[in-house]
Amino acid sequence: MPRFAFKIEYDGRPFAGWQRQADQPSVQASVEKALARLEPDVPSIAAAGRTDAGVHALGQVAHADLARDWEPFRLSEALNHHLKPKPVAVVACASVGEAWHARFSAIERRYLYRIICRRAPLVHDAGQAWRVQRPLDAEAMRAGARHLFGTHDFTTFRASICQAKSPVKTMDEISVEEIEYRGETEIRLAFRARSFLHNQVRSIVGTLERVGAAAWQPEEVKKALEAKDRSACGPVAPPDGLYLTGVSYDQEVF
């Protein structure tokens, strides 16, 4: 059966996450339903990562095995037609070998987290960024983030329901950028690693927000990490501001 890879973006607000669920809407079910309009017996699709409820994607990657050898552009066009009006779009499609796997072939995943600092409720960015009502010290957040760079036991920043075999992960990048956005301050945190633990990014962001608000000192991030204790973590940031921005493979797929 021909195998196809899809680069997918979506607004996570209407969904209970990527993974198909029996009684709640999911991104996976939406894509599989669109595929079923093209071929009746499409098996379950696989994705590079399972984003949680409310989390967005600019570069999720998934694959499916189809009976027909579609021309990739026509396949993406047909899928986008059947995905309407859901906030999900296939932005690229490619034919891949049968050994290629969206999850297991991935060598890097990238996430972005947006924080907008303002008193007033968000209107245009509601559900797409975390509103923090106080200014944040981006330089202090960078100092705290430096303690998390590299290979560590991230038990402190791991959800209790995480199914990963090991809490040891290597953070290849944690950057904190402060920009002016529509006349307001936005903090953008970028993360890059081969793989992440469940809620790892949101747990780190919530902790760094405490540093930016001067409730924690940057050195306390190191103490929390070394504690290897979930109770030492700061509050978990909401899903609103989190985006899966991209997935990398040994060879460019799209």
Cβ(171)–Cβ(149) below 8 Å: yes
Mean pLDDT of the chain: 95
**Domain final position from 83, 104, 125:** 104
CB-hemisphere CA count at 13 Å for 123? Answer: 2
**Do 87 and 120 belong to one domain?**
no
* Nearest alpha-carbon partner for 47 in 84, 85, 15: 15
pLDDT at 160 over 90: no
Same domain assignment for residues 60 and 145: no
Q: What's the total number of domains in the chain?
A: 2
What local confidence, expressed as pLDDT, does residue 171 receive? 97
Distance between CA atoms of residues 177 and 179, nearest Å: 6
- 130 and 234 both lie in a single domain: yes
CA separation (Å) from 215 to 157, 218, 224, 231?
Answer: 18, 10, 14, 16
Two structure tokens written together for 15 = 């969904």
Confidence band for 6, pLDDT divided at 50, 70 and 90 = very high
Among candidate residues 50, 82, 104, the one where a domain is terminated? 104
- Cβ neighbours around 67 below 10 Å, total: 12
Is 112 part of any domain? yes
Could you tell me the CA-to-CA distances from 18 to 10, 195, 205 in Å, in that order? Answer: 10, 17, 21
The pLDDT of 101-105, averaged and rounded, is: 97
Tokens standing for 53? Answer: 């409820």
pLDDT digits (tens, 9 = 90+) for 34-43: 999 999 887 7
**CB neighbours of 101 closer than 8 A, spacing ≥ 6?**
46, 63
Q: Is the torsion defined by CA of 141, 142, 143, 145 positive or negative?
A: positive
- Do 223 and 127 sit in the same domain of this protein? yes
Residue with tokens 């940057």: 218
Cα separation of 58 and 27, whole Å? 13
Q: What pTM, to 2 d.p., does this model score?
A: 0.95
Give the pLDDT score at 71: 97
pLDDT band for position 75 (cuts 50, 70, 90): very high
How confident is residue 181, by pLDDT bands cut at 50, 70 and 90?
Answer: confident
**CA gap 143, 124 in Å, rounded:** 31
Quickly tell me which residue has 């095995």 as its tokens.
Answer: 65
Write the pLDDT tens digit of every residue in 128-147: 999 999 999 999 999 999 99
| Residue 240 belongs to some domain of the structure | yes
Average pLDDT of the segment spanning 120-130: 95
Is the pLDDT at 1 greater than 90, yes or no?
Answer: no
252 domain-assigned: no
Count CB neighbours of 177 within 10 A: 12
8 Å CB contact between 176 and 145: yes
Is residue 13's pLDDT more than 90? yes
Please report the pLDDT score of residue 189 as a whole number: 98
Q: What distance in Å separates the CA atoms of residue 15 and residue 17, rounded to the nearest whole number?
A: 5
Nearest C-alpha neighbor of 152 from the set 168, 165, 130: 168
Q: What are the pLDDT digits (tens) for 184-243? A: 899 999 999 999 999 999 999 999 999 999 999 999 999 999 999 999 999 999 999 999
What pLDDT does 114 receive?
Answer: 98
Range of the domain at 133: 108-246
Task: Catalogue the active-site residues.
Answer: 52
